[in-house]
Amino acid sequence: METRRISIMGATGSIGTSALDVVRHANRTGAVQFEIEALSAGSDAETLSAQALEFGARIAVIADETKLPELRERLAGSGVEAAAGVTAVSEAAARPVDRVLAAIVGAAGLDSTMAAVRAGNDVAIANKESIVCGGRLILEEAMRRNVRILPVDSEHSAIFQCLGDGRALDKLTITASGGPFRTATRERMRTATPAEAAAHPNWSMGIKNSIDSATLMNKALEFIEAGFLFDVSGEALEVIVHPQSIIHGMAHFTDGSVIAQLGAPDMKTPISYALGWPDRIETTVDRLDLAAMGRLDFEPVDDTRFPAIRLARQAYAEGAQATTILNCANEAAVSAFIAGQCGFLDISWIVEETLDRYFAGNMAEIGCGSVEEIALLDRFSREMARNVLETTQHGTGG
């Protein structure tokens, strides 16, 4: 029986909790036994402590330092070490393990992901924003350290499973469900609330990723991530809408063959593949019944209602600065939407306006050659996005 030691950064989020479901089932069935080295969370000390106690983690780390007393109290007498702060999160990610699951949402996950890679840990990457902002840095460092980067997003996991040796590749396709507003008019989308935008028809995700799915910005980030992970040009990447979310990704080859990966829309499948690779781990995921399903539908992306894919193509063609700005402006815009400071359609508009200012030459002097430079560009991008919101009558995007 194989034993595999892992750490989970972002353990209390939707990816982290699904990963622990995978671990729980695997440890019961006995094919692979997982041991938990480190778990981290943003501010949920109650859930983090319960997870650490159940799985016998060696250390639990909470990014919000004000929650450390609560975490220590909940773990008192258990033998589980408690720590707090963003530096402690990165230090936990650097502890030697077989695999680190990088599942911290947003650009905030970049530091710990880089720490894991620099420590020589293989990384199962669920934090697409880390790749969008620091993809070249992470992948170059991984190559130097002989570290594997294993994709966890369902689309990239699908492509990874379809590629084989990657020879004679023509293009890659990632699919989008279309989100809750796939058939909605712009007038309907203009009045959408955060709760409506977060009501994904197929997937269970956190609020930020769910809203990104509603704007298709989630797919835009995945477009960029696929380009970095699989080292292909934007011209070799396409996004199509597939409402059933059964086909997650496809690899097209020069002989006309297309290899697709299918599965129920459940993140436990790609998580288990990344944690278990090169082996497969049994999960509790529902099995497909294609005869009962009867049909699979596909349609092109409507760039008028959903401009995110077009923006991703532009940013990816421009380079790492533009992809970082796109991501950080989106994070700022989504936060503003959740806070009631802008409308749903304004999210993509704020991102586009921020990118336009970059293309006009504002921030061109800020590089992306280090984590520190990316952090600086992150801060300026968010400030510029907030300035777009504050100085221009929002609603222009609607």
In angstroms, the CA 398 to CA 394 distance is: 8
Give the total number of structural domains in the chain: 2
Q: What is the pLDDT of residues 115-131, one digit of tens each?
A: 999 999 999 999 888 89
Measured in Å, how far apart are the chain's first and last C-alpha atoms?
57
Per-residue pLDDT at 395: 47
In angstroms, the CA 142 to CA 231 distance is: 14
Two tokens, residue 363: 């921030």
Looking up tokens 């353990």 gives 11
Range of the domain at 130: 2-151
The residue-averaged pLDDT of 325-332 equals: 94
The residue-averaged pLDDT of 16-31 equals: 93
Total-model pTM: 0.91
14, 52, 78, 109 from 36: Cα distances, Å: 18, 8, 15, 19
In angstroms, the CA 291 to CA 269 distance is: 21
- Residues 362, 254 share a domain: yes
Two tokens, residue 67: 């929650």
Per-residue pLDDT at 150: 97
- Residues 194, 137 share a domain: no
CATH number, position 139 = 3.40.50.720
Asked whether the predicted pLDDT for residue 7 surpasses 70, the reply is: yes
Helix 371-391 × helix 320-338 angle, to 10°:
50
In angstroms, the CA 70 to CA 172 distance is: 47
- Residues 192, 118 share a domain: no
Task: Print the SS3 string covering 109-129.
Answer: HHHHHHHHHHCCCCEEECCHH
Per-residue pLDDT at 12: 96
- Residues 176, 300 share a domain: yes
Give the CA radius of gyration of the chain: 20
Per-residue pLDDT at 363: 57
CATH number, position 178 = 1.10.1740.10
Q: What is the pLDDT of residues 139-189, one digit of tens each?
A: 999 999 999 999 999 999 999 999 988 899 999 999 999 999 999 999 999
Place 393 in a pLDDT band, splitting at 50, 70 and 90: low
- Residues 118, 55 share a domain: yes
The residue-averaged pLDDT of 249-269 equals: 96
Two tokens, residue 329: 């402006």
Asked whether the predicted pLDDT for residue 397 surpasses 60, the reply is: no
Per-residue pLDDT at 394: 46
Sign of CA dihedral 19, 25, 30, 31: negative
The residue-averaged pLDDT of 326-342 equals: 95
Which residue, of 93, 116, 151, is where some domain finishes?
Answer: 151
Identify which of 320, 348, 347, 351 has the alpha carbon closest to the alpha carbon of residue 336: 347
Q: What is the pLDDT of residues 196-224, one digit of tens each?
A: 999 988 777 778 889 999 999 999 999 99
Residues of the chain with pLDDT > 70: what percent?
97
Q: What is the pLDDT of residues 61-109, one digit of tens each?
A: 999 999 999 999 999 999 999 999 999 999 999 999 999 999 998 777 8
Lowest-pLDDT range of 94-103, 204-213, 292-301, 320-329: 204-213
- Residues 133, 14 share a domain: yes
Answer whether 223's CB lies under 8 Å from 145's CB.
no
